[in-house]
Structure formats: C-alpha cells, structure tokens
Amino acid sequence: MATIWRVLTRKKVLDEGSIEETRLSRVLNTYDLTALGVGSTLGVGVYVLAGHVAKDTAGPSVVLSFLIAAVASLFAGLCYAEFGARVPKAGSAYIYSYVCVGEFVAFVIGWNLILEYVIGSASVARGLSLYLDTLINNTMQNTFIEIAPIDIPYLSKYFDFFAFSVSVVLAVALAMGIKESSFVNNIMTILNITVILFVIIAGSIKADIANWEVDPSKVINGTHVGKGGFFPFGIEGMIKGAATCFYGFVGFDCIATTGEEVRNPKRAIPISIMVSLFIIFMAYFGTSTVVTLMLPYYEQNPDAPIPYAFEAVNWNVAKWIVSIGAIFGLCASLFGAMFPLPRVIFAMAEDSMVFRFLGHVHSRFQTPFIGTLLAGLFTGLMAALFELKQLVNMMSIGTLLAYTIVAASVLILRYSVEYRPRYLLLQTSDSEDEIYSEDKTIPAPTESVETSDLLTYEDSGSIMGQIFNCGRRSQPTKLSEKIATIDLSIYCVMCIFIGVCAIYMKEPIVDGEVWAISLTSVAVLLAVIVMMSLVTQPTSRKELSFKVPAVPLIPALSILTNIYLMLMLDSHTWIRFAVWMAVGFSVYGFYGLPNRIRGLRNYDRLE
C-alpha cells in the first residue's frame, strides 16, 4: 500500500533540459496556434448557438450572455497561458496536473481530456454531415438509412458513412505531417473569419433596433415572447444563457497541447490563447448582435439562425454565402477538435499511463502516427453511431473538470516552495520495465534557510500566526505552502456547497427562509475567509514569460464558475461520466499502475 500511495502521489519532475527535449517536430508559430484555437472554436457554435439561446433563453440579451461567457473563459484561458509558459510540453492539462498535483489526478484529467476531444470531434463531424445534408435535401440520410439502418435504442438511426470517412481522412492528414495540415487549417480559418465579417457587415445593413424593443402585447399567434424588450426572460435568462454560451468557447485549450511542436512555446502559447479568445468573443458578439437586430428573437431558427435571418429579409445571395462559409468553418473546427487528441494520448503513453505503442513517433512524419490514426478511427465510429444531440450532451464535463484542475494548479504552484529534483529519470526506453526515479525533492534556498539545512528544514513559526501571515514572510515556506493548500481545498468544498445552494435552494432563498439563507451565508463567509488567508500567504518569485494577474482572485473565480457549471449538468451526463471513468480506472489499474510500481521497485533495488 505504501508503494501504491507513492505512485499515486508522485509528481513529474521536469528540468530545463527535459522541457526543451522532444521527439516531435517543432514547426508551429504563434500565427499557426492562433488559427488553431480560433478554428477549433468557431464551428457549430457561431452558426447555431446565438439563435438557439436568443429564442429559448435570453432574447436580445444573448449578446451579454456571450460577454459573461467570454469573461469566464478568459479566467480559464489565463490559467492555461501561465501553465503553457511554465510547462511547454505536449499534453495540456494532463501534464500540468502531473507536474504539480500528482499522478492519479493527472490520469483522471488525461482520461477526461480524451473523452472531451473524442466527443468534440465526433460532434463536429456529425454536425458537418447534417449541415451538408440539409443543402442537398437529406439525400445522404435517406441513402444511409436504406443501406445501413440501426435499430438500437440510444444510437443513431443509421450509420453515417460521411461523418466516419471525414474523421478518418483528417486523421490520416494529421498523421502525415502537422505543418502541411496546419496550413490547410489556416486557410479554412481565414475563410471562416471572412464569412463572419460578411455576416456582421451585411447584417448591420438590415438591422432594426425595434427588434430589441419588442412589445409582447403586439405579438400575435400567442408566441412565447416573455416580457419583451432587451431582457424578455429577465436577468436570470441572461445568466442561464451565459451558461450555455460558455460551451461555445470550449476548444481554445487545444493550443496548450502543442507545447512540443512550437518553436517558442513559452511565448507563443500565452499570446495565441489570449488573441484567439479575443477573436472568438468578437465573432460571437458581432453575429449575435446582428442576428437579433435583423429578426425578432422569438422568430429565430434555433438550428440555422444566420441563413434563416438573411432569408427572412429576402437576401438569398447572402444566405448561400453564409451556408458555404459555414462548411469551411466546420472543417476548421473539426481539425482543431481532432488535433489535440493524439497529443494527449502521446503524453500519457510516454508516461506508461496507457499502452506505450500509442506514443510511437513516426521516423519520417515526426507525429504520433499510430495514436493519431486510432484516435481518428475512434472519433469516426462515435460520429457514425450517435446523434448530434447525444454527442453534445456528453462533451462538457471533462472540459470543466480540466479547467478547474488547471486553475487550482496555478494557485498551488504560486504558493509553493520552489523545488529542485534530487533524482532524475534513471532510464528511458520503449520497454515496460522502465526505472523511474523517486520524486524526492528539496526546496530551493530562501532568504532564511541555509543550503545545508534544506533536507531537514521545517518552519518554526506559529501556525496560527501564519494563517494570515502575521509575520509578513516574503517567500513561501513549507508551513505557508501547507496552509495555502488547505485554504484551496476548503475553498473548493465551499464552491460546491455554494453551487448546490444556488441551483437547488433558489426558491427558499427567494422566499426568505432563514435556514436556506443561513446555510448559503455560512458557505460564502467561509469561502471569503479562506481567500483572505490565501491572499496573505507569500508567493513564489519565479520569473515566467507570462503570469496570471490578480492571483488568487482570477483562478478562484474560474474554479467557482466551472464547479457551478458542472453542477448544472444533468444526471445522465454524470452517469456517462462514471462509466467512462470506470473504464479508465480499469486501464490504469491493470496496466499503468503495475508498470509504475515495478519501476519504483527497480529504483529501490538500485538504491
């Protein structure tokens, strides 16, 4: 049991040399990464989400819903940017959590990222198939139902050969060279942005401010219009719409998976994340504004709002320009969704978390060849066998959990003593009998600690005094690090409690029931107190090319937002999540964990 605990809690040690080393080809630049982030995000969402949220949830205030969602995404983006500067390695949140939290949490995150990217890619492939099919009067659907019907509950009515084929073809393109495939992605992304600019400019010509000032008493046919005006469904509708719009920003984190294929990752990753988020927000904000100004919110088409809006104002040429542009946007989105998956698999295979042959790098193409092809095959099968709605509902939980862990990891590292490795990796090979070094680390020297005392040093200060740093220490110590970790753990628990109160105790709170208000107030008060304690703790002075500003506020807000959105997911999503995790724990328990235990025992024998 002691060995198992050592394996589950061991952290990955990366020195400057190992960070720079890679078996992949460094060919991408900042422009490539920005195009990747924009392309992976501006797909189904920009052509569907605005009309859907405006019609059913927020009305014209959907523009503010996108603004709130953008701010929430910015919190997560800033945290990813700091880790991209700190740990520029392939694997995104997986490698981040492995470095600062531990192996077990890293596996959980990596396994969920696989789920996120598979489902995300499959949903875009299926969406592209459906979109094309609507332009040719459902010819593909009718043909596939005739030749390959599926009569199984919870599956699609037919095997979608187009969605399957496009996933596999793109996987082959990715496996044969990232630079060439990224060039094609850049072109499609530029075309997509051009079409979005056309929508904004052309739509503004047909805009009518009266559509933001609807009087419900003048609307006939009993259409559900709420209270009318800019907030027809109230402030609550706008906030609820923001929760939906948040998923429209999912995808930028694929930039963080490219750490080993970028020429200057410590600079390029933070810049491209920030720029891509800004472009994505402007696209969403602009399209939602013109669509709701062109057509009243209650008349929006939730499946294809932009083409429908141009058709409603008798501008058919613009309708077809948008329809063709959407195809390019969906193709770029599919590329961006599929790109990160083999990188995460590569990183996990390198660490023997999953089967090592998945991390094999092709000698000619310098890509994780086998992992990329298998990822494309898996994605194609998911796209062919499930409906679009089923895929979308399965996507979000892995993303939100990864965002939460990354934000928490930023706080953990900011308040940690700087460590240097005592032992490095002793042997690396393609065999499963690797010899791993023990993660014994020692704190780097501080102003108050002599180098000779590093292994035996313990903070002698008062625990109670250190809770609010009454001694005004300027550098982290072991004691301040532990207090910061405890503060963060309590804060996360309080965020869960606050989220439960906000979702399931809303009516008692509104009705003024004392017990509900008291429970919520206690949770909020405790969260504020531990944040005040965290603010006073000394932070690391390590120089980075990018740091999250306003720590701990921004990571704390990111954690609160992500936990709240996770709690809003339905029970079926949590059940599917539990099944997926059961499969993952089986892989880790029967393959990954025995390899790690064997590696530590080999190390102990050498000692």
Is 224 inside any structural domain? Answer: yes
Q: Give the chain's radius of gyration (CA, Å).
A: 25
CATH number, domain of 82, equals 1.20.1740.10
Please give the residue range of the domain that contains residue 351.
Answer: 24-414
List Cβ neighbours of 480 (8 Å cut-off, separation of 6 or more).
415, 459, 466, 469, 473, 537, 538
Is 272 inside any structural domain? Answer: yes
| pLDDT range class, residue 90, cuts 50, 70, 90 | low
What mean pLDDT comes out for the span 242-257?
77
Helix (H) or strand (E) holding 421: strand 419-421
pLDDT at 230 over 70: yes
Kindly tell me the number of DSSP H helices and DSSP E strands found in the chain. Answer: 25, 2
Across 89-103, 277-291, 424-438, 440-454, the highest mean pLDDT is recorded for 277-291
pLDDT at 118 over 80: yes
For residue 546, the model assigns a pLDDT of 81
Is 219 inside any structural domain? Answer: yes
- Are the beta carbons of 538 and 475 closer than 8 angstroms? yes
Is 71 inside any structural domain? Answer: yes
Is 436 inside any structural domain? Answer: no
Q: How many domains does the chain have?
A: 1
Percent of the chain with pLDDT over 70: 84
For residue 600, the model assigns a pLDDT of 64
| pLDDT range class, residue 485, cuts 50, 70, 90 | very high
Across 126-130, 244-248, 289-293, 333-337, the highest mean pLDDT is recorded for 289-293
Is 328 inside any structural domain? Answer: yes
pLDDT digits (tens, 9 = 90+) for 399-424: 788 888 889 988 988 998 865 443 33
For strands 419-421 and 441-443, give the pairing.
antiparallel
pLDDT digits (tens, 9 = 90+) for 355-404: 888 888 877 777 788 888 888 898 899 889 887 766 766 777 777 888 88
State the chain's mean pLDDT as an integer: 80
Burial call 183-208: b when 16+ CB within 10 Å, e when fewer: eebbebbebbbebbeebbebbeebbe
What CA–CA distance (Å, rounded) separates 27 from 482?
41
pLDDT digits (tens, 9 = 90+) for 539-583: 988 887 788 988 899 999 999 988 988 887 777 778 878 888 899
pLDDT at 79 over 70: yes
The strand pairing partners of 149, in sequence order, are 158
Residue with tokens 């020429």: 263
For residue 496, the model assigns a pLDDT of 95
Is 342 inside any structural domain? Answer: yes
Closest by CA to 393, choosing from 563, 567, 569, 562, is 569
What distance, in Å, lies between the first and last C-alpha atoms of the chain? 20
Q: What is the DSSP string of 424-490?
A: ------SSS---PPP--EEEPP-TT--GGGTTT----S-HHHHHTTTT--SS--HHHHHHHHHHHHH
What mean pLDDT comes out for the span 98-121?
83
For 101, the 3-state DSSP assignment is coil
Is 18 inside any structural domain? Answer: no
